[in-house]
Every structure is written in structure tokens, then in C-alpha cells.
Chains A and B, each alone.
Chain A
Amino acid sequence: MSWRKHRNQLTGFLVLLPSMILIGIFVYSFIARTIWSSLTDWGRDPSQALALEPVTRFIGLQNYRELFTGVIDGRFRQDLVSTVFFTLFFLAGCLLAGLLLAILIDHKPRGEAFFRAIFLFPFALSFVVTGTIWRWLLQPSGGVNRIPALVGLPPRTFEWLTSRRQVWRFDWSSLPVASAIALGLGLAIVAALAYRSRRRGGAVAAAVAAALGLALAVLLRGYRPLPFPELHGFNLAFVGIVVAAVWQMAGYTMALYLAGLTGIPEELREAAVVEGASGWHLYTRVILPLLAPVTLSAMIVLGHISLKIFDLVFAMAGPDNAYTDVPALLMFITTFRGNQFAKGAAIGVILLLLVALIIVPYLRSQLRREVSR
């Protein structure tokens, strides 16, 4: 039996080999080449940019330095800020709407299947289709802005996709200190929580890390990455994109929550009701905590979609609308329109790091749980 098993494992390895080689080339070697390109000056010399065998020079981290602190790359920094805001609102919208819809469906209304189908169908569409339709709905003097007029009110005039208004503005140069303080305070809270749950080692480690974070803030106090104040904030032009994105993905979130709800045993609910839990308490005290893993999964999946968002923005606002730009789109334009290959590669690497930051821990925990099961 054993030799047979080993022989089959060897065959299995050989069967898997082509796929592993393909992934090795298309994922890992390509990532390595992108990282390498991002460290060169590829594209700075226009005569070399489109050459078949471009002559490039190694310039270290200069592309990254320019993206974060260079005068001409302010657009990238605004894009980064926009992505963070977009992600926050998109996540909040999808989770709230998805949970609400799931709870409604969970009450087994008449025509349950119909409602579920209606809420989920946008997920089957392309972001390009969604973007095309919403682009029309969000025309400044038509579509959604005309809805008040249908009931006799004056139409609204909000310029959904081209609004120049920006709220919650802050100076880019204040970011290093602010993030060091935020990090320090966050870790301090972790330390306090660990102390309360009597985990001494964890508490001490977190407290030390928090102190280091705050010390970093003090050290960075005088550091100004830019010689002048550069204001960034939330572009109101993104509101429409958030609405369209939630329209498309709320049903998906609902489906995830519904799957979680069916996993909760009926006895548990009945027990809670017997104990006197009212409808509201049943959800907030019993069911929501049990759905926490679903919320986490949804946040990770939606979060990485949101960081990569490209097609929806492209279709809704076009690639050249500066008020609704995101890094994924900027990478495309920088590379294929501007021929700034090295800088495009650097933006790609930054995106990869952002996504890896949330995906790698998630994959690790998921796969580990799988083994212990």
C-alpha cells in the first residue's frame, strides 16, 4: 500500500508541475520583474521607453521617493488617499446593506427567492456594464438628480462624477507623525486589552511597541516630506462611484451573510427566544457575534476588490477624470499612455504590498484552520 501511495504522490506531483510552473512564471517571476523594473529609470528617456531591448539604469528607490515626496507626483498621493476613503465607504456600505438584506430575507418573507435573486443579480454583471449605466444615471442634469422632480420638488444639481469639492482635507506632510501617533495609540489599546485579560507577556510587548510608536512620532516631529503644504482629502466625486459599487456588491455580501445565517443552529435561536431575547436583542447579542467570521471574510474580500478597483472607475468617469482617479487606474495610464514603465511598475508594487498586507495573514489563518479541522 505504502509504495503505491508514494508512487501516486509522485504522479500527483508531476501532474501538478505544469500548473506550478505556469503560476511560478506568471505570478512570481513577473512580480520579481516588476519589482526590478520599478528600481530602474525605464521610461525616463523617451527614446528608450518603447525600444524592444530598452537600455535602463538601476536608480534604487528613486521612483518610490518621487511618488511619496516628489513635487510632480501629487496625483498619486491624492489617489492613495482616495482609495483609502473609497475603501472605507464601500466596505461600510456593503456590510450594512448586505447585513440588512440578509436579515430581511432571513425573516422568510413571501417571495423570498424573488427578492434574493433581485438583490444578487448585479454581482453577475461586469463592472463595465454597471459603470456604463450609472454614468448615465449620474449625469448632472438628469437621472438621479431628477428624482426629486418626479414628485414635484426642484431637481438637484450635484455634479456626481466631476465635482471638485473636497472634504476632510489634511496636509500630506502631517501624515508621518499622525500615523505614528495612531499606531502608538492603537497598540496602547491592544496592551490595555491584553492586560485586562491577564496576558502579561502580550501586554508588555504591546506596551513597548506602543511606546516606540509614540517615540517615533516625537522623532518625526520636524520631518517635512514636502517643502510646502499639500492638501489632500475625500473627493466628493467619489460618492457616485461608491453608490454604484455598493449597488453591485451588496448582494454578494448578503449572500455571504445568508450562508453564515443558515449555519447557525435553529436550537440556538430558540434557546435565546426562550430566555426572553426580543427580536432586536436576538440579532445584536446572539446572531451578530456568531457572524463575526463572515464579517471578517467579507471585509477582506471586499477590501481587496476595493484596493484593486479599476474597471468601474474607468467605465463611469473615464480614465482621465482626475477627481475620481485611483492608483490602479493611474498605473495603467502612467504605463500605457505615458510610457513611464518604471513608475508604473512602482505603483503596481505599492498596490501589491497593500493587498498582501491584508491577504497574506488571512490566507495563513484560513489554511491553518483547515489543518486543525
Chain B
Amino acid sequence: MYLVLFLAVAFFLMPVYMMLVTALKEPIAIGLDTAWQPPRTWNWASFAEAWVAFQPKLRNSFVLTVTAAAASAILGSLNGYVFAKWPFPGARIAFALILFGMFIPYQAILIPLFQFIKSIGLYGSIWGLVVVHTVYGLPITTLIFRNTYVEIPDALIEASSLEGAGFFAIYRRVVFPLSLPGFVVVIIWQFTQIWNEFLFAVSLSNPESQPITVALAQLSGGEAVRWNLPMAGALLAALPTLLVYVVFGRFFVRGLLAGSVKG
């Protein structure tokens, strides 16, 4: 059993080893036939170089990711509260219609979206991407919060209601204080998804507003690449989501399970 486990670990870590080894080599020491050998001298310059090239893109990604994750989480929390505790007639159909938005291939809306973002003057701006990611994040955030809030006993809501609390007072006093885990799950999930997203980023940004994924794809896509740079860049692009994964692993898995619809 341990043999299989260690073989699996080797398979999963092989790309990581290759990335680190290549990023740490002098550009001149990178050769296809010596790709597996560890570097003779450790050369940290690639990281410095990648950092200079990627720093503005990383900032773009941060602004985009943090705002869109927060906005979609807040809206999703309110939506989830409505669906879980005050379902109006027809709420089930509305819920299904919203959920479907999570699964559509974005190619099916890309052309009108492109035109729309252009027409409101946000093409090539990071705020255009913020709007897009907030809207298309709504299905999953609504779903996760709804499934969290369904667990809150109705008696709590009723008690508060009998004391005269209205819709928003109940949300503030009862629901919101219980939603910290929900917010952690949702924000981590959205952070990871938006940070890693590529299709919208490559279609709606220009060189100034480019998120990191687009910059990385361009850097490694050219012919005759010096591979130390893309590898260092890949590590920089991966670090934020990896950190989130390491620190919040448990919540990350909960988001992942929610993504398959059942709570």
C-alpha cells in the first residue's frame, strides 16, 4: 500500500520538482537532456526578474479577485438567506435558473458579453472583469449560502420574528452572526476560482489590466522560451492560491464539495 502511495506522491510532485529545479537554474544551464538534474549553482535571479515583469499583473489579479469575491459573497449571502428562509412562490424555479448559470460554457455568452462590456466603457479595465466575475459568481455563492442557512433552525427565525424583528433585523441578529464559516468557504472558493480564471481574462483585458494568468500564458506561449522565467512565473502565479489551500484546507474542501450541487 505504501509503495502505491509513494508512487502516487512521486507522480504528483514531479511537476513541482521540475518547476523549482528549472526556475533555479542559470538560463544557460537549462538543457533538455539535463532537465532532471538539480542546478549546480542556485540562481534566484529568475524570481527577481519574473517578479518585476509580473508585479503589475499580480496587483491586477489581487484587486480583481478580492473585490469580485467580496461582492459576490455579500450578494450570495443575502440571496441564500431568501432562498433558505423566505422562499416566495416560484422561488424554486428562480433557484434552478440561477444555478444553471454556474454550468454554462462561457463561450455561449462571450460575444454579447464582449459587446456589452465594450458598450459600457469597461473593456480593457479591471472593473469590467470585476463585474463579470461578480455576476457569474452569484450561482455558486447563492448555492453555498443557501445550503448553510437551511441548517439554521426555523425556530430561531420565528422567535426573533415574534419579538418584532423584520427581514433585515433577523438577518443582522440571527443569520449573519452564524455565517462566518459560510463566508470563509465562499470567499476562499471565489478567490481561487477568480484568481485562476483565464477565458474572461484573456477576452476582456488589455496589457495594462491583464491578470496574472494571461501574462503567464503569453510568457510561456512564445517560441524559443527561456524556461527559467515561465517556471518562476508559474510559481508566483500559483503561490496565493496554494497559500490559501495550505492555510484553509478544510474550508477549501467544503467549497469543493458544494460545487457538486449537494450541500
Q: Which residues of A contact B (CB under 8 A)?
A: 1, 4-5, 7-13, 15-16, 18-20, 22-23, 26-31, 33-34, 37, 100-101, 104, 107, 109, 115, 117-137, 139, 141-143, 146-147, 149-150, 155, 247, 251-252, 255-256, 259, 297-298, 300-301, 304, 307-308, 310-311, 314-315, 318, 327-328, 331-332, 335-336, 341, 344-345, 347-349, 351-352, 354-355, 359-360, 362-364, 366-367, 371
Contacts and interface: CB of A to CB of B under 8 A. Distances in A.
Interface centre among A37, A307, A311, A371 (most CB of B within 10 A): A311
B178 interface: no
Given A117-B249, A119-B8, A255-B256, A8 B166 contact: yes
Given A26-B109, A132-B220, 7 more contacts: A12-B82, A16-B79, A16-B94, A18-B75, A27-B109, A142-B33, A301-B259
Given A252-B256, A359-B103, A133 B18 contact: yes
Contacts of A124: 192, 241-242, 244-245, 252
B203 interface: yes
A332 B96 contact: no
A133 B107 contact: no
B14 A137 contact: yes
Contacts of B196: 125-129
A368 B100 CA distance: 15
A129 B216 contact: yes
B138 A121 contact: no
B105 A348 contact: yes
Given A19-B98, A345-B111, A348-B107, A109 B79 contact: no
Given A125-B242, A352-B104, A359-B100, A132 B11 contact: no
Nearest to B95: A367
B110 A335 contact: yes
B213 A126 contact: yes
B-side interface size class: 35 or more
Given A126-B237, A345-B111, A348-B105, A367 B216 contact: no
5 contacts: A12-B86, A119-B12, A142-B33, A315-B198, A355-B105
A310 B105 CA distance: 10
B18 A348 contact: no
Contacts of B110: 34, 331-332, 335, 344, 348
Interface of B: 1-2, 4-5, 8-9, 11-15, 18-19, 22, 31-33, 35-36, 75, 78-79, 81-83, 85-88, 92, 94-101, 103-113, 116, 132, 135-136, 138-139, 142, 161-162, 166-168, 170, 192, 195-199, 202-203, 213, 216-217, 220-221, 227, 230-231, 233-234, 237-238, 241-242, 244-246, 249, 252-253, 256-257, 259-262
Given A146-B33, A256-B260, A26 B113 contact: yes
Contacts of A5: 86, 161
Given A109-B1, A351-B105, A101 B8 contact: yes
Nearest to B213: A128
Nearest to B235: A129
A355 B103 contact: yes
B2 to A, nearest CB: 7
Contact of A132 (B95, B167, B234, B246): B234
Given A133-B18, A349-B108, A351-B108, A13 B262 contact: no
Contacts of A29: 112
A119 B4 CA distance: 13
B9 A128 contact: no
Given A30-B113, A351-B107, A301 B260 contact: yes
A370 B113 CA distance: 33
B34 to A, nearest CB: 9
B55 to A, nearest CB: 17
